Structure 1
Amino acid sequence: MSVETFMPQSKSGDAVSLTPAAIKHFEAKLASQPGHLVRLSTKISGCTGYAYVLDVAEQAEQGDTLIHASDKLTLAISTKALDLVTGTEIDYVKEGINGVVKFNNPNVVNECGCGESFNVS
């Protein structure tokens, strides 16, 4: 399997969507860093293939897809990650006293047991 041959199966046609909870979470993270954005990429990792990477960046990289989630939040998606994450909903959920960013990716066919990595068909 290669990223070049994978055809994403987005239900909504949008690259990525964010829930209101995720938007609120990322806006709070960026509050002390005006003008910055959140950048989503992937890396080869774990036992099943890929891992999500979220970073705060001063600007998008060349070729990134930009999603303006709110007046305070822009999400940049790496060109290399776009095929793997198209159709993904990013959520922020509370689990006990901890908060966790969740990726609801309809393209995932396999995840490792610890939830650290994923693969697509």
Structure 2
Amino acid sequence: MTQVVEVTKAAAIHVREMMRHNEEEGSFLRVAVNGGGCSGLTYGMGFETEKSPDDLLLEQHGLQILVSSEDAGVLEGTQVDYKESLMGGGFTINNPNAIASCGCGTSFRTAKKEGTPADC
């Protein structure tokens, strides 16, 4: 089975820096799918202190990552990376399940799940 979500080393380093800066050390990184956006679904990432019974727990590069079992099918094979450029840095998400995305780059849909589009 493919890893549900792969967090690259560069992304893990940046997440750990954010955890230290925000005093969130020891927290889990949640990677999620939410309804909304132009195409119907959006990605979410944040810190949580507790694991829910339906969460999958992944460990990569010193991070503990949570993905709900409901989101796992939509996120399977997804890579979260962090890239630096002359304009600054940011997380990039490459989801092989996305069949359409919005011009804003934050909204998508899959063949299995369309979500509920909202205005961008």
Normalization by structure 1: what TM-score?
Answer: 0.83
Do the aligned residues in 1 keep the contact of 2:16 with 2:25 (CA within 8 Å)?
no
Q: How much has 1:95 moved relative to structure 2?
A: 3.0
Counterpart position of 2:49: 58
- Deviations 1:91-121 (CA, angstroms, capped at 9, x unpaired): 0011324221111111111000111200111
SS of the aligned residue for 1:29 comes to helix
More divergent stretch after superposition (94-103 vs 109-118)? 94-103
Counterpart position of 1:3: none
The RMSD of aligned alpha carbons is: 1.4
Normalization by structure 2: what TM-score?
Answer: 0.83
Q: How much has 1:47 moved relative to structure 2?
A: 1.6
- Is residue 2:90 matched to residue 1:79? no
Counterpart-to-counterpart distance in 2, 1:25 and 1:97: 17
Q: Which runs of 5+ in 1 are unaligned?
A: 1-11
Q: Percent identity?
A: 28
Counterpart-to-counterpart distance in 2, 1:75 and 1:58: 11
Residue identity matched to 2:60:
A
Counterpart-to-counterpart distance in 2, 1:62 and 1:29: 26
Counterpart position of 1:116: 106
Q: How much has 1:57 moved relative to structure 2?
A: 0.7
Counterpart position of 1:104: 94
Counterpart-to-counterpart distance in 2, 1:23 and 1:55: 13
Runs in 1 of length 4+ with deviation above 4 angstroms? none
Counterpart-to-counterpart distance in 2, 1:34 and 1:47: 34
Residue identity matched to 1:47:
C
Counterpart-to-counterpart distance in 2, 1:16 and 1:35: 20
Counterpart-to-counterpart distance in 1, 2:70 and 2:82: 24
Counterpart-to-counterpart distance in 1, 2:90 and 2:24: 21
Residue identity matched to 2:103:
G
- Is residue 2:39 matched to residue 1:48? yes
Q: Which runs of 5+ in 2 are unaligned?
A: 112-120
